[in-house]
Structures are given as C-alpha cells and as structure tokens.
Amino acid sequence: MVNPDVAESIGCPMCGRTVDLPKPEPAERAASLDRPVVILGIVVTLAVAAALPIFLLAGNAPPPTPAVTYVLQPDTLPASFVDRPQPPVPAPPPAAPPAFPHLDSLVASINMAALASEHARLSGDQPRQDVLQTRIRVLIDFLKADLESIRADGLTAEPRAHLAPDDVVVSCAGANLASMKPAEAAMALRLFVENLAPGTKARIVVRREGAERTIEARFKEPPADIDAIFCTVRRATLTAAAPATSGSRTESAIAARLEQTLIDAPAYYVSMLAPEDFQKVSAILGMAAPTAEDTAYVNKICDYIHHHWHTEQKMLEHELKHAQEETARQGQRDMIRFMDGSRRPGTVLSETDETITIEFTNGRIRGNRAYPRGEVGRIERGVGPGVSFPGRLAKCGEDIVLLAELMQWCGQNGLGREGDCLALRILLRSPDHATARTAFGFRRNPRGVWELF
C-alpha cells in the first residue's frame, strides 16, 4: 500500500534497510516555485523606476547655461598691473617692392650691347662699334623714360646697375682682359658671353672715367653681334665642296647659280633645307661630271629656296602695309586714372555730365566703353604710350635690337598693331628672329620651320 505522505523511499545497499522521505506541504512547494518569479519582478520594477525620470526629462530638457564673459576694465585692475609695460605689437612685414620685368629686359639688352661693342673694339671693327654705341645710348634713354613714368605713378623701382657706352671691360669671370692681346681678349670675351645662362647675373669689372668699377650685370641671351655663325656653317659646307676648277661648263653653271642663291637669300631660307638635301647637293658639287639628273636636282633646290623666300617676303610686306594703315590713327593717347587707384592707357572719345566714353586697345582689338563719371578720378591727356611711340620709333632707326625692345614695350602698353608693324619690319630684315615671329603669331612645326597660325 502506497503511503500518500511519503514522497519516495531510499534503500541502503549495505544493510537493505529502507527509509521513507516525507512529502513537503503544498504551501512550502508554492513558495519554493514563486520565489524566482518574485525576485525577477522586483528587478524589473526597479529598472522601470530608474529609467522613468530619464524619459520624462528628455522631452523637457532645461536650456543650457550661457557662458559668462568677464571683461576687466583698467579702473578695476590693480595699479601695479595697469602700469606694467606691455610687450610691443610686432610691426607687419614690409611690402615687397613692385617688380618691373620690362626694366630687367632693358638692362639686359644694354649689357649685351656693351659687351658686343667691346668685342667689336677689340676686333678692330669700328663701324660695328659705332652702331652698338648708338644702340646703348638709345636703350638707356628708354630706361630713363620708363623710370620717370614709374615715378610719376608714385612707385619706386629698385636701381639696376648696367654698363655704359664708353666702358672698357677689364675682367670678367676671373679673366683679366687688360693683360691680354686684343685678339686674345676678344676671344675670351666671346667665350664668356657664349657660356652665359639666360636670366643670370655676372660680375664684370670695367674702367669708367679713369676708375675701375665692379658691376653685377644682368643678361638674358647671347647677342647675335658676337656669335654670328648661325647658318653660315651650312653655306660654307656647300661652297667648299665645289672644286676649284670647273671640269665642264654644266658643272660651272650649277656652282655659280647655287653660290649666287646662297649669297642672295637670307640664311633662314637656306636653313629650311633638310640635312639630306645638303649632303646630296654637296656630293653633286664635288663630282667631276654631274649628270643631267644631278643638274636638275640642284636647280630644284635653288628654285625651292627662292620660292619660299619671295613668297614669304610678299606676305610680310602685305601684312606690314595693312598694319600701318590701321595704326595711322594714333591710339592710347591718354592715361585714365580711376577712383580705385588703378590706371589704364586709352583715348577719351567723348564726355557728358554722367559718362566718359573711352577707347581701349587690347592687342589687335579696339573697343569703346562708357564709364560713370564717378568712377574716373582724373584724365591725363597726351601722356599715353601712343603719344611717345613715334619718338621712340624714330630713335630706333633700322637697328633690329632696338626695334625688338620697342616691340616688347608695345606689347606691355596695349599697342598691339604698332607691335605688329615692328615685328614685320624685323622679319623683313631678319626672317629667323624668334621673338618677332612669336609676337606676330608664328609657331615652329615639328621640322623647326616657322608657320603662321
């Protein structure tokens, strides 16, 4: 019979006795089962109670407390603190002086002309020295005029040392020219100039008015007056290849025509030939009895040189005539100074109580613009670059270097068509002048030949 009050019986494996374990009361069993649930409920209640204020305050957060700034007035500070010397406020760095690159270009041209003149003196070439001395004086006049224009604007340009017309070079690059013979000194001076890097300075000692002076001279590129070998090497190669005595009448005619072509045509048009053409022509001239085909080839080369020469010369003359017609009416006559401190060259066309109409030139383009009178500070009439251009041009004559400097000056002052006239005049005399070619719009093709774009 099962005892309802006994939960289970446990038997001893040693003695075989059985022990009955009593069942727990219903209340105790319920309590033992509900205890974890009660603990869990307490934990949840405490968590909710702790989180509830956070949610309630999140929707009605108080405004942030503004920062308080304390300002100390001198009358509220101790006397010892007020009287204490304060550190000085550092002064702003001085403004860099304005740069004037066109002045550097003029100074470099003066120095180059002076060295070329000294080379001519040492070489005994008095006519060329006279031309170069005139060039130096004109360039110095240009420099003085530009400096006066800068001072008139209230600006200051740093002094730029340069050589003078009658300077005698005593030494350069450590070479004492005074102790050399004239021919040796001329060669040393030429080597010095050929090895100059553009845009650098060189220390030169000169004798001026009986005293020696050391000058830090600026340079840009070696002048053509000292190194005039360009394109003459190819001419010498062709003419030297011809035999001293003509073996036949045909050979003599070929050599005579080619020699005359090389003499008449500017070196630039001769240099347009390809290297293989030079080699073939030289070989033909060295033959004792050239064939009819060889003769035709030499005549073709001469025709090619003459064709390019005369065709481009006619084009340049036509462009020069057209540019001169456009520049007959002088532009950029006045200097207009605006209320904001800027200035601009132009020509005043008309004025009313409200506006001032001014013509401006931008390169090869001319245009008019009406300005409110309140924007214009003052007008300086008759002082624009267009007024000084004729005088500068008269000083240049036919000197290519001076014309090139004046051409660059025109580009800097908005005289575009005047600059074109100068570029064309230069190219008619020196077809391979790179600065004039570039200024007029030429560009070199992959073969090195100038083409107009």
List the pLDDT tens digit at each of the 453 positions of the chain: 445 554 455 555 555 666 555 555 555 554 454 566 556 667 667 666 666 555 555 555 555 555 555 454 555 555 554 455 666 767 666 655 566 777 888 888 888 888 888 888 888 888 888 888 888 888 888 888 888 877 777 777 777 788 888 889 988 877 888 888 888 888 888 888 777 776 778 888 899 888 888 888 887 765 544 433 223 333 444 444 444 444 444 456 777 777 778 778 887 887 777 778 877 877 777 776 778 888 888 888 888 888 888 888 999 999 888 888 877 776 778 888 888 877 788 888 888 888 888 887 766 677 788 888 888 888 888 878 888 888 889 988 888 888 988 998 888 888 888 889 999 999 998 888 888 888 888 888 777 778 876
Same domain as 162, residue 200: yes
83 found inside a domain: no
What is the rounded CA–CA span in Å between residue 288 and residue 284?
9
245 found inside a domain: yes
CA angle, corner 441, sides to 301 and 276, nearest 5? Answer: 25
- Of 218, 249, 277, the position where a domain reaches its end is 218
DSSP state of 374: G
- Of 288, 322, 356, the position where a domain reaches its end is 322
DSSP state of 288: S
What is the rounded CA–CA span in Å between residue 105 and residue 101?
6
Counts of helices then strands in the chain (DSSP H, E): 14, 13
The pTM (predicted TM-score) of the whole model is 0.59
Same domain as 179, residue 115: yes
Same domain as 214, residue 276: no
- Tokens 């800097």 found at: 412
Q: 338 is in which domain, residue-wise?
A: 334-452
448 found inside a domain: yes
Q: Tally the domains of the chain.
A: 3
6 found inside a domain: no
Phi, psi (rounded to 5 degrees) for 305? -65, -45
Same domain as 414, residue 340: yes
DSSP state of 197: P
What is the rounded CA–CA span in Å between residue 257 and residue 444?
29
Same domain as 346, residue 445: yes
CB 348 within 8 A of CB 337: no
303 found inside a domain: yes
Same domain as 443, residue 356: yes
How much is the pLDDT for 424? 92
188 found inside a domain: yes
What is the rounded CA–CA span in Å between residue 381 and residue 387?
10
73 found inside a domain: no
Same domain as 413, residue 343: yes
Same domain as 173, residue 105: yes
- Of 291, 322, 353, the position where a domain reaches its end is 322
What is the rounded CA–CA span in Å between residue 373 and residue 354?
6
178 found inside a domain: yes
